[in-house]
Amino acid sequence: MRRALADEAGQAIALIALAIAAMLLGIGLALDTGQLFVSRRSMQTAADAAAWAGASVLFAGGNATAARSAAILDASRNGYVADTDTTITAASPPTTGVAAGDPGFIEVTVSQFVSTIFLQGASGGRTVVSVRAVAGIARSGDGDAIVVLNSSSVGALNLASGTDLTIVGSGSATNSTSNSAVSISSGHRLTGMYHRVTGNVSGGVAGRMSPAPTVGVAATADPFATLTGPSTTGLPLYSGQTISGMTVTLNPGVYGGLVTVGSNGIARLNPGVYVFQAGFRSTNNGSIVPATTGGVLIYNTYSNYPSAPGGSPSCGSISFAGTGQLTLAASKSGSYAGMVLFQDRNCTTNAAVTVGAGTSFGGSAYLPAALFTVTLAGDATMSSQIVANRLTVTGSFVLTLNFTPGSVTGRRVPSLLE
């Protein structure tokens, strides 16, 4: 009997010891897990802040080197400095993720050994925790549907030949200081949520604007002033060509010669960035359509881009004047998200597009040094934003300009992406 009781007591002690050991292990694992969680959260906050600091430099027009330096400095201010236990990297453009290769973004990674009790890492008693953050210049989705940048021209914003323009979801801003900064043909209207004019408008024109314009206001800042032209690194080189009586699929790249889509020609554009050094045109019934889903950026520039333009850069023109189908849409991600047409600041060559009921032109058009003319072949709707030196809309029809945040750039702001 006594031996049985002793055996039972021994078993109880063993069970209690095992229970205590399990409890201590659980407490230890909980402490380790909590320590790793706190460390990861602190590191992620620091990485996010560092990436934001780098993105702010890029947004202000700084280069990749300055952005990387700002990110590393910001990480140090939050207590993370590269040493034997901590590794910090900043890459602009990012090397991984959805923004890989995009010069408008920066990627920050922080890795650190964290001491643990029960969780044994490869270094014995220390576990590596790694975090990553990506930030850059992204579209905000808000802003002005029309910004006319010219500071002095008469009729910088011009509705000619019996045109009506209706802006949905936004309004217009005209920076000209002229007393006749806006011109609207008699009997027709410019309608929107608001209209700001730095100069003034005549009484007759003011009566054709709804609501009445606010005049004498400060000039509206160029929303894309810090946006640089696209990199040509890795883009293939193509010569110019004329596409008539056939269908040709074009690929992203640098086009050194004029590309013309003429009679019975169809140009099918694969998604990506197109750099035109001698112009891109459609004439007669030539059509420009997407080859597949995804958006494009049409960048019109000078002949030796990206080298310095020199005193008199030779620029081709953008002229989509054909009566064929025109379907263009901007990409929804990257530095040029929401932008479908961008003309180099060194190019003053006028640009033109003809739109009608069958036209789909989605995205922001940015021509900071040029006149942009929209000719109406019929009543038309564009999900677009226009920022140009001067803007003329002509044709005896109605243009509805939908400012849709999902389709246009709006303003550009620093933003965390990943």
First CA to last CA distance, the chain: 70
More confident residue, 249 or 227: 249
> What is the number of helices (H) and of strands (E) in the chain?
3, 31
pLDDT bracket for residue 119 (50, 70, 90): low
The percent of residues above 90 in pLDDT, for the chain, comes to 65
Contact indicator for 353, 375 with CB cutoff of 8 Å: yes
Domains of the chain plus CATH, in order, are 33-139 (3.30.1300), 146-413 (no CATH)
pLDDT of residue 23: 65
How far apart (Å, rounded) are the C-alpha atoms in residues 205 and 200?
10
pLDDT exceeds cutoff 60 at 355: yes
C-beta separation of 129 from 112 below 8 A: yes
User: Residue 357 and residue 359: Cα distance in Å, rounded?
Assistant: 6
Which of 334, 306, 362 minimizes the C-alpha distance to 105?
Answer: 334
Is residue 141 predicted with pLDDT exceeding 70?
A: no
Residue 399 in this model has a pLDDT that exceeds 90: yes
H-helix or E-strand containing 67?
helix 64-77
Backbone angles phi, psi at 301, to 5 degrees: -145, -165
Stretch 39-52: mean pLDDT, rounded? Answer: 90
Q: pLDDT band at 41, cuts 50/70/90?
A: confident
Asked if residue 337 lies in contact with residue 362, where contact means CB atoms within 8 angstroms, the answer is no
Weakest-pLDDT range from 92-101, 192-201, 219-228: 92-101
pLDDT score recorded for residue 372: 98
- State the DSSP string of 24-58: HHHHHHHHHHHHHHHHHHHHHHHHHHHHHHHHHHH
Average pLDDT, the chain: 89
The 10 Å Cβ neighbour count of residue 402 is: 18
| Cα–chain center distance at 333 | 6
- Give backbone dihedrals phi and psi of 56, rounded to 5 degrees, phi first: -65, -35
Q: Which two tokens stand for residue 17?
A: 């010891």
Q: Which residue has the higher pLDDT, 55 or 116?
A: 55
33 φ/ψ sector (left φ>0, alpha ψ -120 to 50, else beta): alpha
Q: Name the residue with tokens 């979801």.
A: 169
**What token pair was written down for 350?**
């006028």
What pLDDT band is residue 122 in, cutting at 50, 70 and 90?
A: very low
Least confident of 121-135, 137-151, 165-179, 398-412: 121-135
Q: How confident is the model at residue 212, as a pLDDT?
A: 96
**Pairing, β 209-210 against β 237-238:** unpaired
- 132-141, 254-263, 329-338, range with greatest mean pLDDT: 254-263
Reply yes or no on whether the pLDDT at 16 is more than 80.
Answer: no
pLDDT at 358 over 70: yes
Residue 5 pLDDT > 50: no
Whether 19 has a pLDDT exceeding 70, the answer reads: no
How far apart are alpha carbons 29 and 118 in whole angstroms? 6
Residues 215/209, Cβ–Cβ less than 8 Å: no
Supply the pTM of this predicted model.
Answer: 0.78
Share of the chain above pLDDT 70, in %: 89
Query: What single letter denotes the amino acid at residue 306?
Result: P
Question: For the ranges 123-137, 298-312, 383-397, which has the lowest average pLDDT?
Answer: 123-137
**What pLDDT, on the 0 to 100 scale, is given for residue 110?**
93
The pLDDT value recorded for residue 342 is 98
Say what the pLDDT of residue 203 is: 86
